[in-house]
């Protein structure tokens, strides 16, 4: 864990291994909780992190076992909570993957894709970019998802 950077992100860097899943989740959930995100949003964050991180752990570094994942989070000026997940693995834009046909019987569906579908439906906004050899996934959860949420104060020096 680190002090917030100039854009307001607090960061954690860990090996892209299964043992890193829970420490990363705990880091992000603590950051979200401190910022007053409600319980239902914390549950969504936990599930979304699990899906995204397991995809990175299982597929980002097929040629080596030495990859890392960087996870940052911050409260935006709007009070929304942003998670940024970065890896140097194989290029993969999860948003380009077609949504599964959930209306078809399970035995007639293509394997895979439900985790990404879950991420896109549980988060309020998901954006992908590939920059400087890194996959960058930004995931935003609205502060107003639950009644009564009061965003923490942010100074004007942090940008969205």
Q: Mind spelling out the 3-state secondary structure of 133-156?
A: CEEEEEEEECHHHCCCCCCCCCCC
For domain 10-142, the CATH class is alpha beta
Tell me if 122 sits within 8 A of 139, measured CB to CB. no
Q: State the DSSP string of 68-99.
A: EEEEEEEE-TTS-EEEEEEE-SS---GGGSPP
> What's the DSSP call for residue 130?
E
Every domain of the chain and the residues it spans: 10-142
* N- to C-terminal Cα separation, the chain: 21
Query: Looking at residue 156, what is its pLDDT?
Result: 33
For residue range 112-160, list pLDDT tens digits in order. 556 788 899 899 999 999 999 999 999 999 987 544 444 333 333 333 4
Burial of 87 (0-12, 13-18, 19+ CB in 10 A): buried
0.85 exceeded by the pTM? Answer: no
What is the CA angle 22-24-27, rounded to 5? 110
For residue range 12-61, list pLDDT tens digits in order. 999 999 999 999 999 999 999 999 999 999 999 999 999 999 999 998 98
Q: How far apart are CA 59 and CA 38, in angstroms?
A: 32
């Amino acid at each position: 864990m680190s002090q917030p950077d100039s854009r307001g992100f607090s960061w954690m860097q860990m090996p892209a291994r299964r043992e890193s899943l829970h420490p990363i989740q705990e880091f992000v959930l603590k950051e979200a909780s401190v910022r007053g995100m409600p319980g239902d949003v914390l549950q969504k964050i936990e599930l979304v992190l699990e899906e995204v991180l397991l995809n990175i752990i299982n597929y980002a570094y097929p040629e080596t076992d030495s990859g890392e994942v960087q996870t940052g989070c911050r409260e935006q000026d709007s009070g929304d909570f942003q998670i940024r997940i970065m890896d140097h693995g194989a290029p993969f834009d999860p948003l380009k993957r077609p949504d599964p046909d959930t209306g078809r019987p399970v035995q007639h569906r293509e394997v895979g894709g439900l985790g990404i579908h879950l991420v896109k439906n549980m988060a309020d906004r998901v954006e992908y970019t590939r920059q400087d050899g890194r996959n960058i996934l930004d995931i935003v959860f609205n502060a107003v998802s639950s009644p009564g949420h009061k965003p923490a104060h942010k100074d004007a020096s942090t940008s969205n």
